[in-house]
Amino acid sequence: MAWHVLLLGGGRMDLHMANRDIVAIGTSAGGVAALQYLAERLPADFPACVLVTIHLSNQHRSVLDEVLSRAGPLPASFASDGVQIRKGHIFIAPPDRHLIVENDRLLLGAGPRENNARPAIDAMPRSVAVCCGPRAIGVVLTGTLGDGASGLRAISRCGGLSVVQHPDDAAFPQMPESALRTMRPDHIARLKDMPRLLADLAQQPAGEPVAVPEQIGFEVEIAKTGRSDMGEMDRFGRRSVLACPDCHGVMWEIDEGGLTRYRCHLGHAYTGELMNVAVDENLRRALASAIRALEEKVALARKLQREAADRGHNLAQSTWAERASEYERELNVVRDTVLRIEAAAAKAAE
């Protein structure tokens, strides 16, 4: 087996006989069951570190580490800041932190949310790509919308191998489908075949060093520190007419093969699909605010109408009655709009 010289993300030279010793898995809906299946069947001498990012709520304590540890021979734990990665261990991104790999250590990033989530599925494999791409195996499992495709593509661009669960085999096929639209992975596999496939791939020698695209490193830094730069964003994307759903700032449109992403000057990021969902949610909130405001205007106008009547001010009473009727007509227009939107959404979901 040949010796490999790898330049890691922090600039450190690491001379060693390396195999594909980092497996970066991204999943969301249906992912717990898929992860359990893999944990049950990966061998005790699995020669790689397994990193997992799955959307977890920060509202209550997760026991996913205990579930995966009980499922099979590999110990599982939530990642801690500064911990050295090690083979034969499963590290899980903790709630409300991006999981970052740097110089073979785990860091917990507090950067902005991506696709309305932290930990973001794409942030971890991007950091793996920068840190140790030729040693990496990226995996996209079951999940909704377009998460994971960008991170998997980053691993592939930096010399790593890519694996996508077959959409027909996934509980929720959208994440695998998005990855397949964005790139041609090295392997498309059903879940039942993945334990053996990953064990075989992990034993392969690491690939040759590959120059890391600046954009990938820049986005990892955003996830780690939260620091962005408008000049840098101008280099990697083009300014969009859309405003950020989170901070309402300028957004840049980034093209990645068949995937369109958006990132704002503060670092919030969305795929095109998630951007559409976020804009839709903002519209619904705006319409709800409009309904509340118009209901308040109607109530206030009717109150002032009654007070004018009690004081015998006929002109003022008539004026407030007309305004109340006008506000009620506007209120009905907005309510009808909301009903049409809800009906269209229900029809699209059929």
Residues involved in catalysis: 28, 55, 147
Length of the chain: 350
Give the closest residue to 146 by CA, choosing from 118, 114, 177. 177
Could you tell me which residues come within 8 angstroms of residue 345 by beta carbon, excluding any fewer than 6 positions away? none
Could you tell me which residues come within 8 angstroms of residue 121 by beta carbon, excluding any fewer than 6 positions away? 26, 27, 28, 53, 54, 55, 115, 143, 147, 148, 151
Count of CB atoms situated within 10 Å of the CB of 285: 11
Give the closest residue to 26 by CA, choosing from 134, 108, 139, 131. 139
Could you tell me which residues come within 8 angstroms of residue 215 by beta carbon, excluding any fewer than 6 positions away? 235, 236, 254
Within 13 Å, how many C-alpha atoms sit on residue 178's CB side? 30
Q: What is the per-residue DSSP string for 143-164?
A: -STTTTHHHHHHHHHTT-EEEE
Give the closest residue to 141 by CA, choosing from 165, 109, 166, 115. 165
| CA distances to 90, 105, 150, 160, 263 from 134, in Å | 20, 17, 17, 5, 27
What is the DSSP pairing of strand 269-271 with strand 259-264? antiparallel
> 257's torsion region: left (phi>0), alpha (psi -120 to 50) or beta?
left
Across the chain, which distance is largest between two alpha carbons, in Å?
100
Task: List for the chain the helix, strand, coil content (%; round to 5).
Answer: 45, 20, 35
